[in-house]
A and B are shown apart, each in its own frame.
Chain A
């Protein structure tokens, strides 16, 4: 089945710093989502981005489907950005079973 790898696994930032999170996937996909799981466990939708670039405030994401990766950019990080960031993709074999990466654990220091 499709493999999803996220890097880095852990990241510590000083408030105000920028960062880039990466998601590599082993097969072509037609759907990709980025989520933020806050310290209370809630999974929050950040982007639905099967291809191209999207921006939402301080966050933006780019997916290059032909090269099988997606990037999540966080600019001017805030302490509230702390948590785990997941990318999730379905296999190209069809269906809607979503495979999650292991996540990037981000801690932003004040």
Chain B
């Protein structure tokens, strides 16, 4: 079974430029998550999708970040314009959320963003 796929793996951009990250979750997983991980810290949730609906985006900086999950499968996270403080690893995860509330998250390899 294929895992969570992310691209690109690395991205270097200048500040004020736009950037986009792509994620393909594990087949059949109804829930998709985007996390940001700063150096030396644990991942922090940016947004969670249940199918195509964003159900928790409270920590997404909406002035410059946007995300979409068309058709409830692939997802794209965009930053425009990027700032120096956006340098981090952006992780995508997916899970199959059961009616019982149980779930297990699986992570992709991440995209390491460097803003210069």
| A and B assemble together | yes
Chain A interface residues (CB < 8 Å from chain B): 30-31, 33, 35, 40-45, 48, 50, 86, 88, 95-98, 100-103
Count of chain B residues near A, Cβ 8 A: 25
Q: Which one of B44, B48, B102, B112 contacts A100 once the chains associate, using CB atoms below 8 Å?
A: B44
Assess whether B45 is in contact with A30, with CB atoms less than 8 Å apart: no
Q: Which one of B41, B102, B107 contacts A102 once the chains associate, using CB atoms below 8 Å?
A: B41
Which residues from chain B contact A101 at a C-beta distance below 8 Å?
Answer: 42
A94 to B47, alpha carbons, bound, how many Å? 16
* Nearest CB of chain A from residue B38's CB, rounded to whole Å: 11
Assess whether B42 is in contact with A96, with CB atoms less than 8 Å apart: no
Assess whether A102 is in contact with B42, with CB atoms less than 8 Å apart: yes
A48 to B104, alpha carbons, bound, how many Å? 6
B18 within 8 A of A: no
Which residues from chain A contact B101 at a C-beta distance below 8 Å?
Answer: 30-31
